[in-house]
Structure 1
Amino acid sequence: MAERDDGFEGGVGEDGVVLRPCTDEDLAAVTAIYAHAVATGRASFELAPPGEAEMRQRRAALVAGGYPYLVAERDGAVVAYAYAGPYRTRPAYRNTVETSVYVSPDMAGRGLGRRLLERLIAEATASGFRQMVAVIGDSDNAASIGLHAALGFHHVGVLRAVGWKHGTWLDTVLMQRALGPGDGVPPAG
């Protein structure tokens, strides 16, 4: 297979980062990245970081459901991850996915989130999903809001003060983009 410049499927980006599907062996690193985000950030509204067993179960359910789950690896270490999951569980939402992207703090600001989200959009589109929703924790999360806007997401709303974390009320910003034909034609099946 030829190397691709996006670092996916074996290709290595110029920064030495490879994007690839997440495996069971990646879960310790994924758990650590998420634990840091939960403990110190506002992107996730979880209050206590889940353990590796819980993260393993969550990933297994997503993969079994046909959702993409990716990692960014540099020098043999997982430094970021992203996945798409169900936006809501009721059947009418089955063509809509929600994004999640997390980057280790030592790799923040290097474009990994963008590369992962671009690949996530491509993978979700290839899987036949029609809409992608970003549920962004904290209206002050300019980096995530900007990233999603740069990749074609449109601001569709703000839920004010719906979360209480780190001693403050937090908003949720909703952004959305169409995938493939979007709502231009009915979904298959």
Structure 2
Amino acid sequence: RDGRAKVCIATDVAARGIDLPNLELVIHADLPTNPETLLHRSGRTGRAGRKGVSALIVPGSARRRTERLLQSAKLTATWASPPSADDVMRRDDERILADPAFDEPVKDDERAFIDALLARHGAEQVAAAFVRQCRSSRSAPEDLMDVAPFTPSRERLAGEKFAHRDEAPSRRDDFGASVWFSLSVGRRQNAEPRW
């Protein structure tokens, strides 16, 4: 609460007791199971009129489930692609260039060793070794698949329905004897396939 911690990692249960006034970012490491959990986790940010960001990391296979979750929570999300490996490397390089250690003057007790290092290896080789050492402490970035633009489910379904209008209806020759029925309940009434 006093601002010393830069990162707070918590389970859903632990997050219920957390009231951090200056929390600006919540990253959901896994997809919440219901709208209440999503809203509760996201509510940790943006307290007392402040702005905050709640980010969901969603694999491509869970996109539809996430869209339903956001829709049932009455939330509008901004979908974004993950950064590319080149973007991650560029940001890492910017972090190295912006390191405050470069602004500090050379100390007297360092000068002799710096001169010996430059005399033995040269400035370019010393800089290359420094960059390699900085990069070795970070894991290599991965290229992830891009996210397709978001299309709300109803619009997507309507588009699919009318896209095949001119085609002849498909035949179901292998469809055996069956009985069709309809239920007056659905996902909103907690209907499950196990019924």
Same fold (TM over 0.5): no
More helix by share: 2
TM-score, normalised relative to structure 2: 0.28
Greater radius of gyration (CA): 2
TM-score, normalised relative to structure 1: 0.29
More strand by share: 1
